[in-house]
């Protein structure tokens, strides 16, 4: 029996634009997915998932994933979740040259499913690490990140970027542009506050919507490019330890994401609550459509404001997690 964990993430800047080769800066946070893997005598998978903001489910299936868990969540999320696990197991089998290996897989996560905090990337990264180690193979973090990206790319129909999986595997704050992925050093203290509306966004649908806008309207393409400009300016602010400028640029980034149609009433309400509480900046994080916002605030004001914002189900501080994927046992 082998257990690995990997962190979730928030985006300082760059979601959606990163799909088109623009840069992005995601940051790992101290909320983790833990995956425990035990080899089976047959080639089947039994997966038990807990704490993914589902009621939990257990299902056994083969490579074609014929069975589906009966849970009260949107079907695309369940289909994607099972696709991620199937893909992670296939990557582990390939890495270990064990194509018929079967596993019992248990997933425990502090990261809400589909909320924009990188739950799928964390689960895939942790699953690949645990399954390969269970088969006697040790992969370095960069290799795990690459294999995890291949899983997300497949499940998300070619619309994924390397940002989420690289950040989860490596930890800390990272800069991603296309295939160029690197961890940032000497990042200033970033006082993250996260608000969660209890909802989920369909990443594939939201990404496809931005693509359609970008192809139809030149100004939408310009908006995507402007997000890239914000990331480049934001990277400079991080280098200069200018957290106030980082916050201002987060505000700009949210406005552009909203213009691209990926915000929602609840996300906007939480962003404005944070701003009115004098947060340094606030924006949605992830694909959007529901889920989470991230703000920067050194005081308790934003946390308190979010706790009293209608539609915000949970608010919490989130420290930067400097560890990426790691063995738990």
Point out the residues that are catalytic. Answer: 164
Contact 299, 243 (CB under 8 A): no
Structure tokens at 160: 């994924």
**47 CB contacts (<8 Å, ≥6 apart)?**
58, 59, 60, 61, 82, 85, 105, 106, 107
Which has the closest alpha carbon to 291: 196, 204, 192? Answer: 196
Rounded Cα distance, 274 and 293, in Å: 9
Rounded Cα distance, 62 and 193, in Å: 41
Rounded Cα distance, 116 and 199, in Å: 10
Contact 87, 149 (CB under 8 A): no
**243 CB contacts (<8 Å, ≥6 apart)?**
188, 189, 190, 191, 237, 280, 296
Query: Tokens 């589909």 map to which residue?
Result: 114
Q: What count of residues does the chain have?
A: 329
Helices (DSSP H) in the chain: which residue ranges? Answer: 75-96, 119-134, 141-155, 163-170, 203-216, 218-239, 243-259, 265-276, 301-307
Specify burial of residue 329 (Cβ count, 10 A radius: 0-12, 13-18, 19+): exposed
Helix axes 75-96, 203-216, angle to 10 degrees: 100
Supply the Cα-derived Rg of the chain in whole angstroms: 19
């Amino acid at each position: 029996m082998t257990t690995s964990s990997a962190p979730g993430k928030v985006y300082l800047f760059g979601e959606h634009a990163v799909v088109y080769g623009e840069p992005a800066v995601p940051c790992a946070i101290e909320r983790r997915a833990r995956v425990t893997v035990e080899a089976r005598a047959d080639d089947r998978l039994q997966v038990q998932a807990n704490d993914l903001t589902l009621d939990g489910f257990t299902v056994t299936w083969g490579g074609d994933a014929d069975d589906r868990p009966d849970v009260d969540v949107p079907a695309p999320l369940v289909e994607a979740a099972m696709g991620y696990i199937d893909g992670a197991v296939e990557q582990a089998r390939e890495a270990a040259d064990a194509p018929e290996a079967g596993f019992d897989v248990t997933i425990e996560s502090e990261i809400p499913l589909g909320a924009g905090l990188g739950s799928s990337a964390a689960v895939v990264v942790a699953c690949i690490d645990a399954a390969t180690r269970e088969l006697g193979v040790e992969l370095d973090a960069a290799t795990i990140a690459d294999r995890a990206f291949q899983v997300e790319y497949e499940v998300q129909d070619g619309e994924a970027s390397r940002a989420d999986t690289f950040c989860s595997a490596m930890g800390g704050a990272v800069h991603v542009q296309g295939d160029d992925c690197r961890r940032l050093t000497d990042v200033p203290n970033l006082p993250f506050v996260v608000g969660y509306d209890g909802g989920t966004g369909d990443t594939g649908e939201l990404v496809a919507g931005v693509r359609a806008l970008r192809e139809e309207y030149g100004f939408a393409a310009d908006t995507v490019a402007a997000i890239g400009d914000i990331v480049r300016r934001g990277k400079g602010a991080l280098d200069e330890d200018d957290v106030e400028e980082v916050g201002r640029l987060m505000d700009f980034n949210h406005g552009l994401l909203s213009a691209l149609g990926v915000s929602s009433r609840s996300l906007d309400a939480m962003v404005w609550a944070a701003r009115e509480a004098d947060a340094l900046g606030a924006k949605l994080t992830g694909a959007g459509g529901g889920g989470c916002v991230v703000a920067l605030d050194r005081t308790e004001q934003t946390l308190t404001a979010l706790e009293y914002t209608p539609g915000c189900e949970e608010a919490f501080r989130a420290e930067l997690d400097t560890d990426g994927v790691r063995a738990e046992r």
